[in-house]
Structures are given as C-alpha cells and as structure tokens.
Structure 1
Amino acid sequence: MVNTKTKNKPIAINVAIYARVSTEEQAEQGYSIPAQIELLRALCKSEQKVVFKEYIDAGISGKSIDKRPAIQELLRDVEQGLIHEVVVWRMDRISRKMSDLLSILDKLDHHNVKFLSYSEKQYDTKTASGKLNLQMFGAIAEFQRNSIVENVKMGMKQRARDGKWNGGNVLGYDVVEVPSGKGTDSVLMINPLEAELVRKIFRMYAAGQGLRSIANQLNKEGYKTKPGNAFSTVAVKTILNNPVYIGKIRYNVRENWNEKRRKGINPDPIIADGEHEPIIDLDMWEAVQKLYGKKSKTSPRVYEGTYLLTGLMRCPQCGGTLGAHRVKDTLKDGTVVVRRYYVCNKFKNNGSRACSSNSVRADFVESYVLERIAEVVQHPKVLDDIVNKINKDRVKSVTPLQKEIAFLEKELKTLDAQKQKYFRLYESDTIDNDFLLERLNELKGKYDTLTQRKREAERQLESNSSNPISIKEVRAVMTKFHNLLESSPHNTQKTLLQTVIKQVHIKKAGKEIEGIELEFDEGIKKYFLTLAPSTNKVEGAFAFPKQKPPYRYTLVI
C-alpha cells in the first residue's frame, strides 16, 4: 500500500539567494545588501521554498565575476547539485557584463537550476522568448554600466585637465582632503622629508648614477618608497619620469588596465598644469629627461665593468651597435688576464651568419677618445680649424636646401591640384567611388613623404641659417667638459661621454677610428652642462656665462 502522505509531499526546493552591491551604489536607495536579502527571504517564504544559503558580494563591482568570491562559491555549489534555484533582487546583480551573464545562465541551465529575478519575474529562462527578453535586458544593463563608467572617466579626465589630482599616493606629497563646494576635494601637499628624498634621487641621476645604483644606495641608507617598500629600479624610474614633480598633472597614461594591462598604453595622455606646488625645478627636470632619453637609446648591457663607450659605436659592416665583451686567458703561470673588447652585438647574439665580430680593443678606443678630447682642448688651433670648417659647410649647404624646399613646395601644390581634379571627376560621375579612394590613398602616400622631407629640410635650413658657431663658446664648453671628465668618478665619466658623444666612427678594418662625433644643442648646454654633477674637484662644473647658443651643431674631432 502506497503511503499517500509521502507520495503527495512536495519535494523541498533549495534556493540560493545572491546579493551584491558595488561601492558606488552603497548610498543609492534600494541597493543595500540588507534590503535585497529581506525581499528575497520574503519571496522564498511566500512560495514555501527553502533558503539553502545566502551568497553575498559586498562592495564589489559587477564588471567581472573573476574577483567575486561569493558568485564563485555559488557556481561550485551548483555544479555539486546542492541548489535547485537561484534568486536575485535584480538581474544586473549577477553581472553587468553580457558575456558573463549569459555564461552563468548557461551553466545554471546545464545543471537544471532555475533562475529567478525578483524585479523581472516575467523572464522565464526556460522559454525562447524568455531567454530573448533576458538577453535584451542584460544588454541594457551592460550598456548602463558602460555609460556610467564612461561618464566617470570623462569627469576624471576633466579634473585632470583642470589641474586637479585624481587620487593615489605619490612620494613627495601627501593627499589631503580640503573643503570644496558642497563636499571635499583631494589635493597634493608637499611632504618636506619625502620631497628632499625626491630631490636627492634627481641629483643622483644627473650626477651619472644609474637606476640600479640609485636603488641600491637608497636601500642601504634605509629609505623606503611611499608604500613602505624597498626601492627598485622601476620605482626609481617611475619617480624620474613623473611630471607631477614639476607641478604637472599626468592622467590616462594607460587605458583599460584590467583587460589590456601594459599593452593599453595611451600615446597621448593628458598633461596639464596642476594646482600643486612643484618639487623639482624645470632645469633639473629637463636635464634628467634628456639624459634618460640618451641612455634609453643605447643597447641593454649584461656587463658594464669599465666600458665607457657602450652603445656609442656602430659596426662598420652591419650598422648595429658594438657591445661589451670580455675574453679571459690563463697564462702558463696560472695568471688570469682579462682583455676587454667592443664587438658587434649581432655577431655576439646570432653568430657569424649575422655579421662578423668587427672587434675593437676597449683600451685602445677609450684611450683614443680621452686623448683626442684632451688634444683639441690643449691645442686651440685644432679646435678653431674644426669650428671654422663647420661654419663654412653650414653656409655652403644653405642654397641647396633652399632650392630643395622650393621644389618640394611645388610638388605638394601639384598633388593638391591632382586631388581636386579627381574630386571634380567624381562629382561629374566620370569615376566611381572605389577608383577615387584608390587614387586619393596613392596621393596621400606621396604627400606625406614629401611633407616629411620638407620638414627635415626646413629644420636643417633653420640650423644652418643661424648665427655662426662661436669658437670662444665651443672652446669654453670643451675645456670645462675635459676638466670635469678628468676629475669625475667612472659612472660620471660614462654619463658625460654618453651625453655629449653622438657616435665614435670606426673604420671597416676595425683597427682605426675615423672620428668622434660630438653633438651640442641648447638642451645640453642649458640643462645639463650647467648643473655640475657630483664632484668636489671642479668647482661650478660647466657654469660658464650664459650666451645664446646655436640651434644645434656637431663637431667631428
């Protein structure tokens, strides 16, 4: 005989209640966790359903499910068959991202778990029309979230353009809340102790110390970063490249960090004058940026040792850089001799199929460079002859440049006329749209090439048309450069040479040097050579009377 009470007794339905609220929604009416839970408990009670468990993600965005522990736990319980139904206050509590929402609902359906939204009860996920309505609602929820994010980003970008700080701690400043309108605003106030540390880092780098050397010294002296960690090369580099220290606001350097990570670099970030007080003066800033840019273009070096000219020489065969290389020989008496060379990096990394070694003895080339600089300083006539030759070459090159610029301008006008011609043919239906676009793209390529060459020619003309290079000024720069070079430690010597030397030209035989190309411009003279890197032996370093320098010039000595 069948027990009718057991037969007619309804099977208990285990319901999972899920609630979520993000930080920005805390203050909005009806979004609170207690309010959601209270409504959903009442719903389950009215329908005589058993609440298996309440899963709560408090203060977590609905952008993604990856960092929401409660939803992850709920899905694990679904897979184990512990839940028959999931109920939420509103569908966007599950996710505001359409792909995540559909993925979750698909998993629930796969395990025969019903989904119910208190606010959208009309969506039955078991029917095709119900799924369609739900997907449309999910798309709207994602659109709303994206609109909110877009508006927030727009507001923060405008704050940055207005010179306001958008939050985050930075060494040298304290973030202070001050009254502003109806609420408060975050502003940067200088922290005197930290600001002095920032100045110390800039001075160390301008004096020739590298990133690793600075980090090691700061750690040995007991300094810490803003979060209280030890200094790393990345931390030092971040400080040296942060324009906040000259009173600027930089924002939106990286976009969509969560998805793109380091690939999301914005080539045109917002940089505006900030409301805060600078820590670093503009001269020091530009000196450091110029020096950093110079160093960043040289090849990475595994071993530096006593190599002064790393990255300053090119392989006469392939044009690649010559890098440091050591050879150890053991003599018969057991003595180990280390010979230093500069060799082609392509040969070193890829073998003889890529290039030949084209090695140069380091002792030979370094001695040559230092002795040649001393020679032109000690024999003024040598330097005078070099400068006079440069001035003559500059005058000779003016006329050809002027002719080239005139020719380029004529060609650009011809291209403009051709473009207008094709537009007229298109308007008269003589040619179709595809042919027009093809011809315009072709003309654009030619136009861009000619425009680029015209700009370069104008730059060269501007340089060569400026006042003749002053022999007296060049002699003063070279003399002080040589004096500082002789009295400076190794790291500073290396920095000085890499700042002023553009390239050491090696002949194809690899045993002779064609010349040393020095490059001087207003930036080197004004922003670096007047700063006096750390040395007690040369008072004032490059502190000579300021004169109006030429635009740019090179000396081959």
Structure 2
Amino acid sequence: MNKTAIYVRVSTQEQVMEGYSIGAQTEKLKSYCSIKDWTIYDIYTDGGFSGSNMERPGLTKLIHDVRQNKINNVLVYKLDRLSRSQKDTLYLIEDVFLKHHVNFVSINENFDTSSPFGRAMIGILSVFAQLEREQIKERSHMGRVERAKEGYFHGGGFIPIGYDYVGGVLIINEYEAMQVRKVFKLFLNDTPIDRIQKTMNSKYTYKSGNWGSHSVVRNVITNNLYIGKVSFGGKSYDGKHQPIIDEEVFNEANKRYAARSNIKGKSNPFKSKHLLTGLLYCGNCGARYFAKGNYSGRGENKRYYPYYTCYSRAKTNKKLVVDPTCKNTSFPVVKLEPIIIEEIKKLAFDPSRINEIKGQVPKKENDQPVIESRIAELDKQISRMLDLYQNNNMPFEQITARIEQLNDEKESLTDELNNLDINQPTITIDQAAELLSRASDILDNGSVDERRKLIHSLIDRITIYDTDFEIQWSFT
C-alpha cells in the first residue's frame, strides 16, 4: 500500500495575495492521490505559520510519523509550502524523508525525489524559494525606509500615544497629546519616573492601554516622534505630522534623562533585549519571571544562552522572591519566544478566535457597583449631618464625631475601589483585530522594539505552569 502524507501550509498574507488557501491546496492534493491511486495516510496542516523556520505543529507531527516508518510519500502543492529556507528544505528531504525511504513529491513543479533528476531539481528550486523570501523581505524593508524618508510614520501594530493613525498619516489626538505634555512637564519638574507613572496611571488612559508600566513613560520621554521626527533603521527624518513637544523642551528632558541614567550618548539600559520581559509570571508561587543567562564554551566558541526564570528560584533579588522553595521550570529564550509568537500568528490567521477566547474567560465577580452605591450613601449621610449642624439640631461634638466616622469608611471604600480588579480588557476587540492585521509582517520583519510593542499590546500576562503556560490576552 502506497501510504501518502499530504502537507499543506499557508500564511495569512499568502492566502490573501496568492490564493494558497488550506482548502484549495488540500483538494488539489487529494485529486492527485486519486489519480495516482495512492492511499492518504493523513493530512498535516499548518495554518498561519511562516515557512522561514520548522517550528510548526503539523510539520513536527509529519516528521515524527516519517521517522516511525508510517509513510511512503510526502505530497505538497508547491515546494515553498514545505519551507522557504534552502537549508531546512534540503535537511527535510535528505536527512528526514530520503533517509527513511520516503519520496517527496511537489505537484506544482511536477517532479519527485524517486528520480535523480527530481533530487537535483529540489536543490535548485529550494535556492530560488529562499531567494524569493529574501527579496520580499528586502523590498518590504526598502519600502518602509522610503516611507520614513518621505516623513511618514511606518505604521505597524503600535500607534504612538498622542496621535491617531488615519489614512496612513499621524493626526494629533488632543486628549492624549495633553497627557504627553503632562509627562514632560512632570519630568522637567524633577519628578521621578515611577511617580510620573503612578500619577498618569491614576488619572488617564489612552487608546490602546494605560500608564501601567515605567517603560511607557520612558518611551514617551525619549521618542523624537513628539518633535515631528520619524525614525527608522536607526536614522531620523523630518516627519509630515505635527509635533506635540517643543524641540528645546524635548532636548532638555533627554539631557536630564541621560544624566539620570548615567548613559549619555548610549542606548537606554532599561530597554530589554528580550521580547517577553515584564509579561511572565510564575504559576507556582506568583513571582515574576525575568531573563538571565549563562556563558558556555571557551574562546571563539564562547556563547551566551539566555533563559526566562522565576525570581523566587533565581534568588537574585530578595525583594522579588515570593517562595524560596519554588522550582518552576526555566525556559530558554529561543524556545519560549517563538512559541508565543506562533500563538499570536494563529490569531492573526483566524481573527474569529478573538471572540472565542473572550468568551472562554470567566468573568470575575464585580463589586464596583455595590461599593460605589455605598460611597454615594455615605455622601448623603455626611450632607445630612452638615444640615443638622447648620440648623443647630445636634451638638457640635456629636456631629464632628459622626462625620469623622463616615469619612473614615468612605476613604477605606475609595481605596478599595481604586485597587479593585474587575477584569476589564486593556484593548477592545476592534483594536485587537487592527493589531493582528499587521502582526505577521511585524513579527517576521520588524525590529526588536516593534515586535516587543506588538506583543505587549496584545498580551497582558503569561503565566508559566511547569512545562505549560497560560496567556492573558489584552482584549479579555
């Protein structure tokens, strides 16, 4: 029996631009098997996954079944469905398929590896598949550079605080621009960044979130977008948009920022090189995860291997240790980050899952209406006590004692209300859909900063449970 594995892959962009839908590929491959009288062993599907690496669930299962000698043929619609990397393509064909006596067939190119000519053509075409990928990436990068030179913000998943992105142009959002000016004013009045963050977070929100992190404040202070500039690839250009901050104010603020950080002329030391810093929490003890690493090897072979680990387990900062006995799993950065990226790409491929995820999250009991009602009742009681005092219907001592008691209860309830977690989403469903529409391009081609901003906009928290994890999305 000629047992055949059908493998289909599509990324969101390819499905829209080139028509490589999962259904279209599958039907053509089934018809080919019928003509050849091949038995379909299984259909392996990777929807919304890039062909630039092999971290794909469908491909992983296919490789496992090949190595278990369950398959005679692997059938794809087109060579680049298997991979867009020359190295990965040749590895799969020579070291996985042929090694286990499995033929590889691509119907679009009309050849298979059962013949010497087919094996030679595989190598040649895989070179062109990778060349095409590199050219697409280069054209995309060049287009964004030219757009920046013309003064246009490059767009992407993150729209800066203070602006709306309308028709490819930044337009000042007056309410948010007021917040940006407030940050600069506080900073130039020598207010510490952590106090600025708390002040802003207690009073304001912006379109895609709140001032819940010190990094939001730092990014505002150091972003020359606010003086009418556009930056891309480490270079700045005059922007088409209107500035929010006077250039002298911006320069003075950044001069003080550099002095505070003791990094004049250098990059921001608070800017992490890792994409998930600030999002990870331990499901065992509740402490934060952070990135650290070890060096391995000697001389030219010495390499740095970073990994995410629980503060309680690492014990590098006593203030952040929750349970010194915690032994929760540490994840290599190169392993965990691609997993989270692929979770985002799955959503980008099928945005309808946003509503499913939102519906799966249990709503927390909301005490806000009860507390607000009690505070309103206390205000009425205080008002009545003041009326009694004005009408001389009650002794002054009794009135003041009662008002103090009512005020104490009101202050306690107000503090409770301010700290109440009512499970409100950070961004709306529409905002999430807008971010996801650009996610694949940013995650594949964006800078570290752009990728981090996108991930942090979509995800509020990732909880690590041994070898598993749970994502708290921003829209739930």
TM-score, normalised relative to structure 2: 0.51
Partner amino acid, structure 2, of 1:293 = A
Matches within 5 A, 1:182-193: 186-193=168-175
1:39 aligns with 2:39: no
| Aligned match of 1:297 | 262
Partner amino acid, structure 2, of 1:155 = G
Q: CA deviation at 1:129?
A: 5.1
Work out whether residues 29 and 75 of structure 2, in 8 Å CA contact, stay in contact via their aligned partners in 1.
Answer: yes
Partner amino acid, structure 2, of 1:187 = V
2: CA distance, partners of 1:117 / 1:234: 49
Partner amino acid, structure 1, of 2:97 = L
Matches within 5 A, 1:143-542: 143-167=131-155, 168-176=158-166, 178=167, 186-219=168-201, 221-224=202-205, 227-228=208-209, 230-252=211-233, 269-297=234-262
SS at match of 2:241: coil
Q: CA deviation at 1:249?
A: 0.8
Which one of the candidate residues 72, 88, 110 is aligned to 1:100? 88
| Aligned match of 1:91 | 79
Q: CA deviation at 1:40?
A: 0.7
Q: CA deviation at 1:56?
A: 2.6
Q: Deviations over 1:71-120 (max 9, x none)?
A: 23322333444433211011111111112212222222333332111122
SS at match of 2:42: strand
Structure 1 residues 295 and 30 mapped into 2: Cα distance closer, same or farther (>3 Å)? closer
Partner amino acid, structure 1, of 2:144 = M
2: CA distance, partners of 1:223 / 1:50: 62
Residue ranges of structure 2 left out of the alignment (5+ in a row): 265-476
Q: CA deviation at 1:218?
A: 2.7
| Aligned match of 1:417 | none
2: CA distance, partners of 1:225 / 1:18: 44
Partner amino acid, structure 1, of 2:52 = K
2: CA distance, partners of 1:81 / 1:218: 61
1:121 aligns with 2:110: yes
Work out whether residues 172 and 193 of structure 1, in 8 Å CA contact, stay in contact via their aligned partners in 2.
Answer: yes
Partner amino acid, structure 2, of 1:49 = W
2: CA distance, partners of 1:99 / 1:211: 47
Q: CA deviation at 1:127?
A: 5.5
Structure 1 residues 223 and 25 mapped into 2: Cα distance closer, same or farther (>3 Å)? same
SS at match of 2:199: helix
Work out whether residues 51 and 84 of structure 2, in 8 Å CA contact, stay in contact via their aligned partners in 1.
Answer: yes
Q: Deviations over 1:406-433 (max 9, x none)?
A: xxxxxxxxxxxxxxxxxxxxxxxxxxxx
Between 1 and 2, higher relative CO (CA 8 Å, sep ≥ 6) is seen in 2
1: CA distance, partners of 2:62 / 2:206: 40
SS at match of 2:256: helix
Matches within 5 A, 1:6-45: 11=1, 13-29=2-18, 31-45=20-34
Structure 1 residues 47 and 166 mapped into 2: Cα distance closer, same or farther (>3 Å)? same
Q: CA deviation at 1:169?
A: 1.7
Work out whether residues 103 and 112 of structure 2, in 8 Å CA contact, stay in contact via their aligned partners in 1.
Answer: no
Structure 1 residues 16 and 232 mapped into 2: Cα distance closer, same or farther (>3 Å)? same
Structure 1 residues 55 and 207 mapped into 2: Cα distance closer, same or farther (>3 Å)? same
Partner amino acid, structure 2, of 1:189 = I
Q: Deviations over 1:26-53 (max 9, x none)?
A: 3445533332222111100111112222
Partner amino acid, structure 1, of 2:178 = E
Q: Deviations over 1:316-344 (max 9, x none)?
A: xxxxxxxxxxxxxxxxxxxxxxxxxxxxx
Work out whether residues 4 and 38 of structure 2, in 8 Å CA contact, stay in contact via their aligned partners in 1.
Answer: yes
Structure 1 residues 224 and 70 mapped into 2: Cα distance closer, same or farther (>3 Å)? farther
Please, which moves more after superposition, 22-31 or 165-174?
22-31
Structure 1 residues 196 and 147 mapped into 2: Cα distance closer, same or farther (>3 Å)? same
Partner amino acid, structure 2, of 1:53 = D
Partner amino acid, structure 2, of 1:26 = Q
1:142 aligns with 2:130: yes
| Aligned match of 1:321 | none
Q: Deviations over 1:450-487 (max 9, x none)?
A: xxxxxxxxxxxxxxxxxxxxxxxxxxxxxxxxxxxxxx
1:48 aligns with 2:40: no
1: CA distance, partners of 2:225 / 2:61: 43
Q: CA deviation at 1:287?
A: 1.2
Work out whether residues 7 and 45 of structure 2, in 8 Å CA contact, stay in contact via their aligned partners in 1.
Answer: yes
Q: Deviations over 1:240-283 (max 9, x none)?
A: 1111111111112xxxxxxxxxxxxxxxx231111112111212
Work out whether residues 20 and 93 of structure 1, in 8 Å CA contact, stay in contact via their aligned partners in 2.
Answer: yes
Q: CA deviation at 1:157?
A: 0.6
Structure 1 residues 193 and 121 mapped into 2: Cα distance closer, same or farther (>3 Å)? same
Q: Deviations over 1:390-415 (max 9, x none)?
A: xxxxxxxxxxxxxxxxxxxxxxxxxx
2: CA distance, partners of 1:53 / 1:192: 57
Count, aligned residues: 261
Q: CA deviation at 1:155?
A: 0.9
Partner amino acid, structure 2, of 1:291 = R
SS at match of 2:258: helix
Partner amino acid, structure 2, of 1:247 = G
- RMSD of the TM alignment (CA)? 2.3
2: CA distance, partners of 1:172 / 1:135: 51
1: CA distance, partners of 2:181 / 2:230: 18
SS at match of 1:170: coil
| Aligned match of 1:456 | none
1: CA distance, partners of 2:64 / 2:219: 42
Partner amino acid, structure 2, of 1:285 = F
Partner amino acid, structure 1, of 2:182 = K
1: CA distance, partners of 2:149 / 2:187: 30
Residue ranges of structure 1 left out of the alignment (5+ in a row): 1-10, 179-185, 253-268, 300-557
